[in-house]
Amino acid sequence: MGFFSKLKEFFSEENIFPEIKKLTITELESWLDSHTEAIFDTASEEIKNIRTAIAQEKSQLSINLSNLEKAELKNNMIPARVKHIMQGNREIYLQRMNSLSDQISIPLDFHGLLQFTNSFDENLSKFEKSIAKNHHVMLEFFVKETTAVSTNVKNIDRQIKEIKQRLEDNKIFRLNGLKHKTKELQSKIRRREEKKKEISHIREKLESKKTEIENKENKIESLKISEDYGEFLSLTEEKDNFSLDLANLISKISHSFSEIEAALKKYSNSRPEDKLIKCYLDDPIKTLLEDKSLDIAKTLKKIRNAVEINEIELKEKKREKTINELGKLSEFYFRDFLQRQRELTKNLQAISKEIENSIMNKEIKKLKEDVKEDKAKLAEDKIPLNKLEKDFKEIEISALESEIEDEILKNLNKQIKIITENINKEISDNLVRF
């Protein structure tokens, strides 16, 4: 093959653009298993011999513990109390060492093996601290047997560290972490799917309620252009006119009493026994409606005379206004007011009742009340939707996807692309605005 042919082959599409394997999240786990199986098999084969060595070391540990248990004191002349202390420490030491030996069980599965090797250092360190005193006592009395036991434990520790190193050399820790991340990604996607379904369900309900509100509002608008509504508007306009006339009537007489208030107060102060004037000062309209014999007319005539002869003293300008206003407030004036007030009130009550009993009024009123309640319920129902959408956005997967893809490339030298449904876009595109 010529130089240029080799060059062409080197720069072929396959070399420049290596194939990127596209995998769904459901395919990823099995794909990962298939591509890590050989690595796990190699690691298993390498670890097999170490397992055998550990089993042999445990067997030797059992023998050495038995030797320690049977060992006799070199010096039988030591005090009984010291013998008792020694024996107590020996029993504790043997019991704890046997317990440690029982706990050294090398798992066959990689997940268990990873956990075991990761935790063994810490567990052994705690064990050594707990047995330090007993170990020291054993060395004082049985140095040979105790040293043999310690050597067994150290050898087992070294062999377990060697297993851990083999796992690290074969990238087992990384690949196991990769599997955990894959499961985490699957879990996140499941949670996103669940949130997505909940969001869609709530949105359907909200959209249905929104349509219902719009239909009611349209119904109100259609009623407003009907002939019956025109008649209803005429009634409400007439009612407004009666209300305005009555308000003006009351305002006019209220103004009159306001103009003469200073004179009334001075008159009331000079005649505290006169309860009528006090009532008119407190609420002139209410008192006038209750003053059936219109005694106020006679009293006001007296007050006018008192102002005219300066018995009730007022400033000149105020005096003239008061005399002028008191001149208007005759019995005839009050009777005319009361008659007009009764007529307007009667008309207002009659037309209000007619409006109240109007079918058109009842229908529109009911529709408006329904719309108000529906809108309040719609706003209330949006609260859980807002929380769901917030929760959904917080379940971020793109960074984890990229992390998994990068680690697969780094540890397996394979380029993959994880294909997940673009739920974010779907949620955004179908967002219902309320």
Statement: residue 276 has pLDDT above 50 = yes
For 67-82, the pLDDT digits (tens) are 999 999 888 888 999 9
Long-range contacts of 246-250 (CB under 8 A, 24+ apart): 246/341, 246/344, 246/345, 246/348, 249/337, 249/340, 249/341, 249/344, 250/285, 250/341
For 105-114, the pLDDT digits (tens) are 988 887 788 8
171 or 187, higher pLDDT = 187
Share of the chain above pLDDT 70, in %: 93
Across all residues in the chain, what is the average pLDDT?
86
Dist CA 39 CA 412 (whole Å): 10
Share of the chain above pLDDT 90, in %: 43
Statement: residue 235 has pLDDT above 50 = yes
Q: What is the DSSP letter of 78?
A: S
34-38, 56-60, 217-221, 427-431 — most confident range: 56-60
Stretch 421-426: mean pLDDT: 50
pLDDT value at residue 56 = 96
Token pair belonging to 94: 């043997």
Q: What is the pTM of this model?
A: 0.48
Reduced to 3 states (helix: H, G, I; strand: E, B; else coil), residue 422 is coil
Statement: residue 16 has pLDDT above 70 = no
Q: Which residue, among 37, 155, 149, 29, has the nearest Cα to 96 in the 3D structure?
A: 149
pLDDT value at residue 372 = 93
pLDDT value at residue 278 = 93
C-alpha distances in Å from residue 276, one per residue of 281, 295, 330? 9, 8, 16
* Model confidence band, residue 272 (pLDDT cutoffs 50, 70, 90): confident
Q: Which backbone phi and psi does 293 adopt, to 5 degrees?
A: -90, 0
Torsion of CA 214, 220, 225, 229, to 10 degrees: 180
pLDDT value at residue 38 = 77
Contact 417, 430 (CB under 8 A): no
Contact 392, 199 (CB under 8 A): yes
The distance from CA 283 to its chain's CA centroid, rounded to whole angstroms, is 56
* Model confidence band, residue 10 (pLDDT cutoffs 50, 70, 90): very low
Statement: residue 183 has pLDDT above 80 = yes
Q: What is the DSSP letter of 309?
A: T
* Model confidence band, residue 367 (pLDDT cutoffs 50, 70, 90): confident
pLDDT value at residue 17 = 47
For 314-349, the pLDDT digits (tens) are 898 999 998 999 999 999 999 999 999 999 999 999
* Beta partners for residue 418, in sequence order: 23
Statement: residue 429 has pLDDT above 70 = no
* Model confidence band, residue 421 (pLDDT cutoffs 50, 70, 90): low
Q: Which residue, among 383, 387, 181, has the nearest Cα to 173 in the 3D structure?
A: 181
Q: Which backbone phi and psi does 19 adopt, to 5 degrees?
A: -65, 135
Residue type, 400: L
Sequence-distant (6+) residues with CB within 8 A of 85 are 137
Sequence-distant (6+) residues with CB within 8 A of 352 are 239
Q: For the chain, how big is the Rg over CA atoms in Å? A: 51
* Diameter of the chain measured on Cα atoms: 142
Lowest model confidence (mean pLDDT) among 23-37, 51-65, 124-138, 140-154:
23-37
pLDDT value at residue 422 = 53
pLDDT value at residue 18 = 59
Contact 142, 68 (CB under 8 A): yes
Statement: residue 11 has pLDDT above 50 = no
* Model confidence band, residue 424 (pLDDT cutoffs 50, 70, 90): very low
For 121-169, the pLDDT digits (tens) are 899 999 999 999 999 999 999 999 999 999 999 999 999 999 888 888 8
Q: What is the DSSP letter of 421?
A: -
For tokens 């129902």, name the residue: 381
Residue 307's Cβ-count burial label (10 Å; 0-12, 13-18, 19+) is buried
